[in-house]
Protein backbone atom coordinates (compact mmCIF):
# COMPACT_ATOMS: atom_id res chain seq x y z
CA UNK A 1 0.00 0.00 0.00
CA UNK A 2 1.54 3.37 -0.99
CA UNK A 3 2.36 5.84 1.77
CA UNK A 4 0.21 8.97 1.41
CA UNK A 5 2.22 12.05 0.57
CA UNK A 6 1.30 14.92 2.87
CA UNK A 7 -0.25 17.78 1.00
CA UNK A 8 1.40 21.04 2.03
CA UNK A 9 -0.96 23.57 3.50
CA UNK A 10 -0.72 26.78 1.50
CA UNK A 11 1.13 29.37 3.56
CA UNK A 12 1.95 26.92 6.36
CA UNK A 13 5.54 28.22 6.64
CA UNK A 14 4.13 31.72 6.81
CA UNK A 15 1.60 30.66 9.45
CA UNK A 16 4.36 28.98 11.46
CA UNK A 17 6.43 32.17 11.26
CA UNK A 18 3.47 34.29 12.37
CA UNK A 19 2.82 31.92 15.27
CA UNK A 20 6.45 32.20 16.40
CA UNK A 21 6.40 36.01 16.18
CA UNK A 22 3.05 36.24 17.96
CA UNK A 23 4.23 33.92 20.73
CA UNK A 24 7.47 35.84 21.20
CA UNK A 25 5.66 39.18 21.22
CA UNK A 26 3.04 38.01 23.71
CA UNK A 27 5.73 36.53 25.96
CA UNK A 28 7.55 39.86 26.02
CA UNK A 29 4.36 41.77 26.77
CA UNK A 30 3.34 39.28 29.46
CA UNK A 31 6.67 39.71 31.24
CA UNK A 32 6.70 43.50 30.89
CA UNK A 33 6.44 45.12 34.27
CA UNK A 34 6.78 41.99 36.34
CA UNK A 35 10.43 42.78 37.04
CA UNK A 36 9.34 45.60 39.34
CA UNK A 37 7.11 43.17 41.26
CA UNK A 38 9.89 40.62 41.62
CA UNK A 39 11.98 43.34 43.26
CA UNK A 40 9.11 43.80 45.74
CA UNK A 41 9.24 40.10 46.63
CA UNK A 42 6.36 38.98 44.43
CA UNK A 43 7.60 36.04 42.39
CA UNK A 44 6.57 35.09 38.88
CA UNK A 45 4.84 32.10 40.46
CA UNK A 46 2.77 34.50 42.57
CA UNK A 47 1.92 36.48 39.43
CA UNK A 48 0.92 33.26 37.65
CA UNK A 49 -1.45 32.33 40.49
CA UNK A 50 -2.92 35.85 40.45
CA UNK A 51 -3.55 35.49 36.71
CA UNK A 52 -5.19 32.10 37.30
CA UNK A 53 -7.49 33.58 39.94
CA UNK A 54 -8.29 36.55 37.71
CA UNK A 55 -9.11 34.20 34.84
CA UNK A 56 -11.06 31.53 36.74
CA UNK A 57 -12.30 33.26 39.88
CA UNK A 58 -12.09 31.45 43.21
CA UNK A 59 -10.32 28.10 43.00
CA UNK A 60 -9.84 25.19 45.35
CA UNK A 61 -6.32 24.41 46.55
CA UNK A 62 -6.29 21.20 44.51
CA UNK A 63 -7.28 23.09 41.35
CA UNK A 64 -4.52 25.67 41.92
CA UNK A 65 -2.04 22.81 42.35
CA UNK A 66 -3.29 21.18 39.15
CA UNK A 67 -3.23 24.38 37.06
CA UNK A 68 0.21 25.32 38.44
CA UNK A 69 1.56 21.79 37.95
CA UNK A 70 2.77 21.51 41.55
CA UNK A 71 1.95 19.22 44.45
CA UNK A 72 -0.85 20.15 46.83
CA UNK A 73 1.69 20.74 49.62
CA UNK A 74 3.68 23.13 47.39
CA UNK A 75 0.49 24.97 46.42
CA UNK A 76 -0.44 25.26 50.09
CA UNK A 77 2.94 26.80 50.95
CA UNK A 78 2.67 29.16 48.00
CA UNK A 79 -0.82 30.29 49.02
CA UNK A 80 0.37 30.69 52.64
CA UNK A 81 3.06 33.17 51.48
CA UNK A 82 0.66 34.98 49.16
CA UNK A 83 -1.95 35.26 51.92
CA UNK A 84 0.70 36.72 54.28
CA UNK A 85 1.38 39.41 51.66
CA UNK A 86 -2.32 40.20 51.29
CA UNK A 87 -2.50 38.96 47.68
CA UNK A 88 -5.08 36.19 48.20
CA UNK A 89 -7.62 35.16 50.78
CA UNK A 90 -8.95 31.78 51.78
CA UNK A 91 -12.59 31.05 52.45
CA UNK A 92 -14.43 27.89 53.43
CA UNK A 93 -16.98 26.57 50.97
CA UNK A 94 -20.37 27.16 52.63
CA UNK A 95 -21.72 23.87 51.22
CA UNK A 96 -18.71 21.78 52.28
CA UNK A 97 -16.62 23.27 55.08
CA UNK A 98 -13.78 20.86 54.29
CA UNK A 99 -13.20 22.64 50.97
CA UNK A 100 -11.02 25.74 51.04
CA UNK A 101 -11.38 28.23 48.22
CA UNK A 102 -8.76 30.80 47.32
CA UNK A 103 -9.66 34.15 45.77
CA UNK A 104 -8.03 37.46 45.03
CA UNK A 105 -7.60 39.83 47.96
CA UNK A 106 -7.43 43.60 47.51
CA UNK A 107 -3.63 43.42 47.38
CA UNK A 108 -3.81 40.87 44.56
CA UNK A 109 -6.20 43.04 42.57
CA UNK A 110 -3.92 46.04 43.10
CA UNK A 111 -0.93 44.01 41.93
CA UNK A 112 -2.78 42.91 38.77
CA UNK A 113 -3.78 46.53 38.13
CA UNK A 114 -0.13 47.61 38.48
CA UNK A 115 0.92 44.95 35.98
CA UNK A 116 -1.69 46.21 33.51
CA UNK A 117 -0.54 49.82 33.85
CA UNK A 118 3.10 48.89 33.30
CA UNK A 119 2.21 46.60 30.40
CA UNK A 120 0.24 49.41 28.75
CA UNK A 121 3.15 51.81 29.20
CA UNK A 122 5.60 49.31 27.76
CA UNK A 123 3.30 48.39 24.87
CA UNK A 124 2.81 52.08 24.07
CA UNK A 125 6.59 52.55 24.04
CA UNK A 126 6.90 49.60 21.64
CA UNK A 127 4.18 50.96 19.36
CA UNK A 128 5.67 54.45 19.35
CA UNK A 129 8.71 52.94 17.62
CA UNK A 130 6.55 52.21 14.57
CA UNK A 131 5.77 54.78 11.90
CA UNK A 132 2.20 55.65 10.94
CA UNK A 133 2.08 53.23 8.01
CA UNK A 134 3.29 50.35 10.18
CA UNK A 135 0.73 51.24 12.84
CA UNK A 136 -2.10 51.28 10.29
CA UNK A 137 -1.05 47.89 8.89
CA UNK A 138 -0.76 46.46 12.39
CA UNK A 139 -4.20 47.78 13.35
CA UNK A 140 -5.77 46.35 10.20
CA UNK A 141 -4.00 43.00 10.67
CA UNK A 142 -5.08 42.75 14.31
CA UNK A 143 -8.67 43.54 13.29
CA UNK A 144 -8.51 40.78 10.66
CA UNK A 145 -6.99 38.39 13.21
CA UNK A 146 -9.71 39.11 15.78
CA UNK A 147 -12.36 38.65 13.07
CA UNK A 148 -10.84 35.24 12.20
CA UNK A 149 -10.85 34.26 15.88
CA UNK A 150 -14.51 35.24 16.18
CA UNK A 151 -15.37 33.29 13.01
CA UNK A 152 -13.63 30.21 14.44
CA UNK A 153 -15.49 30.66 17.73
CA UNK A 154 -18.79 30.98 15.84
CA UNK A 155 -17.99 27.82 13.84
CA UNK A 156 -17.11 25.90 17.01
CA UNK A 157 -19.49 26.82 19.84
CA UNK A 158 -17.92 26.26 23.21
CA UNK A 159 -14.41 27.24 22.04
CA UNK A 160 -14.31 29.97 24.67
CA UNK A 161 -16.28 28.03 27.25
CA UNK A 162 -15.93 29.17 30.80
CA UNK A 163 -17.23 31.91 33.04
CA UNK A 164 -15.16 34.57 31.28
CA UNK A 165 -16.36 33.87 27.72
CA UNK A 166 -19.03 36.55 27.76
CA UNK A 167 -16.55 39.16 28.91
CA UNK A 168 -14.58 38.66 25.70
CA UNK A 169 -17.72 39.03 23.60
CA UNK A 170 -18.83 42.13 25.51
CA UNK A 171 -15.38 43.71 25.21
CA UNK A 172 -15.37 43.08 21.46
CA UNK A 173 -18.87 44.50 21.07
CA UNK A 174 -18.02 47.56 23.19
CA UNK A 175 -14.92 48.31 21.13
CA UNK A 176 -16.80 47.93 17.88
CA UNK A 177 -19.59 50.24 19.02
CA UNK A 178 -17.25 52.79 20.63
CA UNK A 179 -16.96 56.14 18.82
CA UNK A 180 -13.76 56.56 16.87
Q: Mean pLDDT throughout 13-33? A: 84
Categorize the per-residue pLDDT at 168 as very low, low, confident or very high, splitting at 50, 70 and 90. Answer: very low
Question: Which of 98-112, 129-143, 149-163 is predicted with the least confidence, judged by mean pLDDT?
Answer: 149-163
Compare 7 and 130 and report the one with higher pLDDT: 130
Question: Which of 127-136, 150-159, 161-170 is predicted with the least confidence, judged by mean pLDDT?
Answer: 161-170
Categorize the per-residue pLDDT at 161 as very low, low, confident or very high, splitting at 50, 70 and 90. Answer: low
Q: Mean pLDDT throughout 52-70? A: 94
Class of domain 30-130: mainly alpha
Residues 54, 59: Cα–Cα separation, whole Å: 10
pLDDT score recorded for residue 170: 43
Question: Which residue pairs from 167-173 have beta carbons closer than 8 angstroms and sit at least 24 positions apart in sequence?
Answer: 172/146
CA distances from 43 to 64, 79, 104 (A): 16, 12, 16
Categorize the per-residue pLDDT at 104 as very low, low, confident or very high, splitting at 50, 70 and 90. Answer: very high
Compare 26 and 80 and report the one with higher pLDDT: 80
The share of the chain scoring above pLDDT 90, in percent, equals 51
CA distances from 49 to 23, 155, 162, 170 (A): 21, 32, 18, 25
The ranges assigned to domains in the chain are: 30-130
- pTM here is 0.65
Residues 120, 71: Cα–Cα separation, whole Å: 34
CA distances from 31 to 34, 65, 124 (A): 6, 22, 15
pLDDT score recorded for residue 41: 75
Amino acid sequence: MPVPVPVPVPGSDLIDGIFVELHRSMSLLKCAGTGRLVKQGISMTHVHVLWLLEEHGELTMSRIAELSDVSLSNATGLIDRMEERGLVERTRDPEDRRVVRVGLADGGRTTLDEIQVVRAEVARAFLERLDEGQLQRLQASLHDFRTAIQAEADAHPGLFEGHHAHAHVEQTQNRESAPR
